Amino acid sequence: MNVVMISPGYPVEMAYFTQGLAAAGATVIGVGDQAPTAVPQPAREALAHYMQVHSLADGDAVAAAVRAIARHVHLDLVECLWEPYMLLAARLREELGLPGLTIRQTMPFRDKELMKAVLDEAGLRTPGHHSSDTVAGVWAAAERLGYPLIVKPIAGAGSADTYRADSPADLDAILPMVRHVPQVIVEEFIDGEEFTYDTVCAGGQVLFENICWYRPRPLLTKLHEWMSPVIVSLRDLDAPDLQPGRALGAATLKALGFRDGFTHMEWYRKADGEVVFGEIGARPPGGRMVDAMNYATDADLFAGWAEAITRGRMSQPVQRHYNAGIIFKRAEGAGRITGYSGLDRLMAEFGEYVAAIDLLPVGAPRRDWRAR
Ligand SMILES: Nc1ncnc2c1ncn2[C@@H]1O[C@H](COP(=O)(O)OP(=O)(O)O)[C@@H](O)[C@H]1O
Ligand SMILES: [Mg+2]
């Protein structure tokens, strides 16, 4: 099989999906805007060919490059697991007559209003919502929905430009901060715990399921720098209090007609047990969550995804012996990392349970904690 992988080396986990494709027996052709030498080693080794474009945002240029490839080799699949270029991949599939998500099928995974409209139609519980591209429209939506509410971009990511308003005064203060966002969605605020529902599917069948638990809610970790966000990939998916979320997840995939590949959905569980849809992407989660799932299941989902999309099955065993958590420790202060403290004590106490440690080297600039 000849597979075009868009952005095969960025973000960093793409390199492992690229490697998975080659391991599944595919001939992988990478198209990306990284210089060939900047493509991480696991991807570089896996690529039969790499075509650098000046920018993936230039859809016409990418389409021309892929058409040029298609004149030389028969292409079977175009894959993209990075959110900003999902629609580009859909366009290329349509132009080349390849299977997989079309533009129309991709839109509900990108547009937070559209995705909820599809689910509402299917009778699934979404937060009350209304999208708008004018200030007057936001006020009208707030009037209809009541407070507290959430204002966020219709196609956002990483909780960027996402705000909670408890009153008209709050909303008044928020509006200038979202003025640069072309279209916002105003939503009923759902108070509760936050979980994911992630799958690998083939032929419309769920081959692999996962639930992660965000601690605390991403909106909170976005507000408070001192928090160390924790994501736990849960061992026991049969726990009774997870079943409503799992059922919502399966029903969501059905409503959207999803067939092949990775999905990443978020859902809320209220104190009274009611579960509410959050959002969904037709791609794996970022933030090292696929690593957490791999540790939790003793599986290799990079390879598992690749086998699913190229052969329609996932043959490796998935075992559920562990909860696997990731703790994102944030640096204190600004500038460069000067040192670490407390790790020795942690390792002395919990070392036997620590599967991996990934710290920025001393001297590196600290990460922008608001960026994720
Ligand atoms: N309707 C809502 N009710 C409560 N919290 C919300 C709502 N919408 C968003 N949030 C909070 O904001 C975070 C980011 O919103 P989300 O829709 O997941 O967008 P993103 O694509 O940025 O992850 C969520 O994880 C949640 O904590
Ligand atoms: Mg989210």
CA distance 262 to 122: 22
Ligand 1 binding pocket mutation candidate from 86, 114, 147, 150 (most atoms within 8 A of CB): 150
- Can you tell me the mean pLDDT for 124-152? 97
- What does each C-alpha distance from 163 to 73, 221, 270 come to in angstroms? 48, 13, 19
Ligand 1 atom 21 nearest Cα? 157
Instruction: Report which ligand 1 atom has the smallest distance to the Cα of 188.
Output: 1
Provide the β-strand partners of residue 32: 52
Q: Model confidence over 95-107: pLDDT tens digits?
A: 999 999 999 999 9
Q: What pLDDT score does 156 carry? A: 86
- Can you tell me the mean pLDDT for 6-26? 97
Q: What pLDDT score does 157 carry? A: 86
Quote the tokens at residue 214. 């965000």
Ligand 1 centroid, distance to 361 Cα (angstroms): 32
**pLDDT(349) > 90:** yes
Instruction: Report which ligand 1 atom has the smallest distance to the Cα of 129.
Output: 1
Tell me the three state secondary structure of residue 163: strand
Q: Are residues 6 and 31 in contact, defined by beta-carbon separation less than 8 angstroms?
A: yes
Q: How does the average pLDDT of the chain come out, rounded?
A: 96
Q: Is 113 in the pocket of ligand 1 (CB under 6 A)?
A: no
* Short-list 242, 148, 241, 252, CA closest to 191: 148
Residue found under tokens 């349509």: 94
Quote the tokens at residue 307. 């086998």
Quote the tokens at residue 255. 């409503």
Q: Which ligand is nearest to the CA of 159?
A: 1
Per-residue burial over 146-166, b = 16 or more CB atoms within 10 Å of its CB, e = otherwise: eeebbbbbbbeeebeebbbbe
Q: Model confidence over 252-310: pLDDT tens digits?
A: 999 999 999 999 999 999 999 999 999 999 999 998 999 999 999 999 999 999 999 99
Under the banding of pLDDT at 50, 70 and 90, the label for residue 372 is low
- Can you tell me the mean pLDDT for 328-336? 93
Ligand 1 centroid, distance to 272 Cα (angstroms): 19
Name the DSSP letter for residue 238: T
Ligand 1 binding pocket mutation candidate from 114, 279, 280, 283 (most atoms within 8 A of CB): 279
Residue found under tokens 């979980």: 195
The string of DSSP codes covering 333-369 is SSSB-----SHHHHHHHHGGG------PPTTSBPP-T
